[in-house]
Structure 1
Amino acid sequence: MPPLFHPHLVNCPFEDPGLYVDFLFERRAVLFDLGDTAPLPPRKVLRLSHIFVSHTHVDHFIGFDRVVRLCLGREKRLHLVGPPGFVDRVTARLGGYTWNLVGTFPTDFTVAAAELHPDGSIHSAEFHCRAAFSRENEQRDHVHGGVLLDEEAFRVRSVFLDHGIPCLAFALEEKNHVHILKNRLREAGLPTGPWLAELKRAILGGRDDGEPFTVWWREEGQERGTRFSLGELRERFTKTVAGQKIVYVTDAAPTPENRRRIVELAAGADYLFIEAPFLDEERERAGDRCHLTARVAGELGRDAGVARVVPFHFSPRYTGRESLLREEVERAFRG
């Protein structure tokens, strides 16, 4: 089965951070960090359902205005999540413009912003276009395990890192795949159809193998069916495999606690997108600026057992010497 998620960096590694993740079977995408979005065409911006912001330094949040401008006049709800103080930052950005004409718009573009706190509490608010993006419907809730979004097919999990300020790192975790063995269905004389989606949900939902399950289809205008146990269908006609895992880490001091949290978050990931601003020979400069070095980035990927490390957020000091950063990451990753 082809991968569900297709990730790519929005900009070159010397420019603003941002990771765009496209969904294979939906007109949908998510974005990690909101730096310069100019390389994203409007059609890609309009696919976004959620944006997860690590922190609001200018190179991670300057793209907010362009996203809002492209979404104006559309019936769309866009979710943004960031660290403590994020709702105030969104309020300030939207409050910087005059919205006297939007009350007549036929659509109501809505920004739903939320901020996560280290104790797991989450504070959210909504900003409706037709209400001139005034702050309303504020709520407080609590999340467990840093899970910011939990849907049928995937979840987004976060951890706090120290960048001199609280900074979030994110993991996009696809839940297990259930593959249908269609050759076995044909051999058993069973048709494909909507019942297969129900079967996948039953398996992924952890329902008991002993539960009865009806395989149904339409034939000559009539509904027909055959009953099996869920366990028999699972054993004979499906194969369950682990889903993708994509991790995004940026702007983190090279402290032991940060390293521990990154390794735990990234464990077994298919992709680790991780900052590598400086060579290790400049580790004092990196530490002073609360950033990782290329060597540490590679070591973290190795310690986490990831399949692939993708470095980014290179310091402009290395313009023309990009290969040095990439080589140091790769040496440390390969051990």
Structure 2
Amino acid sequence: MSQRELVVLGTASQAPTRTRNHNGYLLRWDGEGFLFDPGEGTQRQLTYAGVASSAITRVCLTHFHGDHCLGVPGVLQRLSKDKVEHPVTAHYPASGAEYFARLRYSTAYHETADVREEPVAGDGPVAAGGTWTLEARALDHRIDAFGYRLVEADGRRMVPERLAERGIAGPAVGELQHAGRLTTDGRTTTIDEVSEPRPGQRFAFVMDTRLCDAVYALADGVDLLVIEATYLDADSDLADTYAHLTAAQAARVAAACGVRRLVLTHFSARYTDPALFLDEAARHFDGDIVVAEDLVRVPVPARR
């Protein structure tokens, strides 16, 4: 069975606390490992989480504020230390290429890992795998920032009862799936006749931003939304000043976009009670809400 889950490595915002490390989120998606916004200490958090560096196949940075990228040097050097054999692709805002270069070569080390840089210059697809596409959209922050959206292509689910009605079983099912049609005993069956649509799964990652159209576009119809909730609504003036979201805003986005599971994170150190974020979000979104804690694992919801 494929494995699709979010491993939360850090949930603090600008300053870490005794219980919250700087940002860090690893999305396991079948054979891929998308590492989003590795802040300071991410390498150690991976160890605590029991995740090997070889699980990382892509590093995706939303922007170049330190709490979202100061873990890059340790992560990239660890790839070389562990002799990770597969290529690892790094996506980041193209305007910050100089920052990435400084992070990548901030100290002397023997680089053996195959790290390939693919900067993000604008909205649209940035990478693709066998059945998925990774997209980016520009957010509204104080420096260039992008959110990411992972979209699995829609497919079809075979219906056993329909197959049985037509006497199709065993290897013949595979032949039908491969060719799209199958002729047995003079009767042709198309795959549409014995299957039903299977929506692809979707994931979105939204960090430092004010509310903007891109937030809604990224969150639209996703199964799992990871989104910053730096402030509570009582401090919405601070959220706007510093270009961040409140828990209420994040929850309203989830409700408007039909999100199935909402993960709130990136909490300001001014708040000490996580329940406040849950209470505020629940007033605006009646779906599944996770107030993220370091080192928790959040599964992508089962297919619809």
Over 3 Å counting, the alpha-carbon distance change for 1:174 and 1:3 in structure 2 is farther
Q: 2:23 aligns to what SS in structure 1?
A: coil
Counterpart for residue 135 of structure 2: 157
Q: Does 1:280 align with 2:240?
A: no
Displacement, 1:318? 0.4
Give the C-alpha shift of residue 43 in structure 1. Answer: 4.3
Q: 1:74 aligned to 55, 66, 84, which one?
A: 84
Report 1:100-119 matches (<5 A): 108-118=112-122
How many residue pairs were aligned?
Answer: 274
Give the 3 Å change call, closer, same or farther, for CA 98–19 of structure 1 in structure 2.
closer
The answer as to 2:4 corresponding to 1:5 is yes
Partner letter of residue 16 of structure 1? H
Greater CA drift, 39-48 or 291-300:
39-48
Does 2:180 match 1:180? no
The 1:152–1:228 alpha-carbon spacing in structure 2 relative to 1, beyond 3 Å, is farther
User: In 2, Cα distance between the equivalents of 1:188 and 1:288?
Assistant: 64
Secondary structure of the structure 2 residue equivalent to 1:166: coil
Alignment of 1:229-268 (within 5 A): 232-254=189-211, 258=212, 260-268=213-221
Contact 2:61 2:93 in 1 (8 A): yes
Q: Give the secondary structure class of the aligned counterpart of 1:164.
A: coil
Q: Tell me the distance in 1 between the aligned counterparts of 2:92 and 2:201.
A: 23
Q: Are the structure 2 counterparts of residues 98 and 308 from structure 1 closer, same or farther at C-alpha, using a change threshold of 3 Å?
A: closer
CA contact (8 A) 1:29 1:49 kept: yes
Q: Residues 38-53 of structure 1: matches in 2 within 5 Å?
A: 38-41=44-47, 43-53=51-61
Query: Do the aligned residues in 2 keep the contact of 1:15 with 1:313 (CA within 8 Å)?
Result: no
Distance change (3 Å), C-alpha of 1:226 and 1:261? farther
Q: Distance between the aligned counterparts of 1:157 and 1:191, measured in 2?
A: 38
Distance in 2 of aligned mates of 1:312 and 1:303: 19
Structure 1 distance, partners of 2:174, 2:186, is 14
1:197–1:16 Cα change, 3 Å: farther
Give matches, 1:131-150, under 5 Å: 146-150=124-128
Give 1:237 deviation, angstroms: 3.3
CA separation in 1, counterparts of 2:280 and 2:2? Answer: 29
Deviation at 1:162, TM superposition (A): 1.5
Question: What residue identity is the alignment partner of 1:31?
Answer: L
State the distance in 2 between where 1:157 and 1:322 align.
31
Q: Is the 8 A contact 1:214 1:226 kept in 2?
A: no
**2:63 alignment partner, SS class:** coil
Q: CA deviation at 1:184?
A: 5.0
Q: 2:261 aligns with which of 308, 312, 320?
A: 308
SS at match of 2:210: coil
Please state how far the C-alpha of 1:311 moved relative to its aligned partner.
Answer: 0.7
Identity %: 23
Q: Deviations along 1:66-104, whole A, 9 cap, x unmatched?
A: 2223211332210010113343223212332224x66xx
Question: What amino acid maps onto 1:5 in structure 2?
Answer: R
Partner of 1:329, secondary structure, is helix
Higher strand fraction: Structure 1 or Structure 2? 1
- Structure 1 stretch displaced more, 76-85 or 65-74: 65-74
Bigger Rg over Cα: 1
- Distance, in Å, in 1 between the alignment partners of 2:186 and 2:120 is 47
Amino acid at match of 1:243: G
Question: Is this contact kept in 2: 1:148–1:157, CA < 8 A?
Answer: yes
Change in 2 beyond 3 A, CA 1:226/1:71: farther
In structure 1, how many angstroms separate the alpha carbons of the residues matched to 2:106 and 2:2? 41
**TM, length-normalised to structure 2:** 0.79
Separation in 1 of the partners of 2:99 and 2:218?
Answer: 27
Give the partner amino acid of 1:40.
L
Q: Quick check: 1:30 aligned with 2:28?
A: no
Return closer, same or farther for 1:59/1:96 CA change in 2, 3 Å cut-off: same
Contact 1:274–1:312 (CA under 8 A) maintained in structure 2: yes
Find the aligned partners of 2:141 and 2:126 in 1 and give their Cα distance. 21
TM-score of the pair, normalised by structure 1: 0.72
- Among 51, 57, 60, which residue is 2:65 paired with? 57
Structure 2 unaligned runs (5+)?
13-19, 288-304
Q: 1:226 to 1:7 in 2, by over 3 A?
A: farther
Higher RCO, Cα 8 Å, sep 6+: 2
Q: Pick closer, same or farther for the CA change 1:17–1:97 going to 2, 3 Å.
A: closer
Q: Which residue of 1 aligns with 2:243?
A: 290
Flag as ranges the 4+ runs of structure 1 deviating above 4 A. Answer: 182-191, 225-229
Structure 1 unmatched runs, 5+: 103-107, 119-144, 204-212, 216-224
2:302 maps to which residue?
A: none
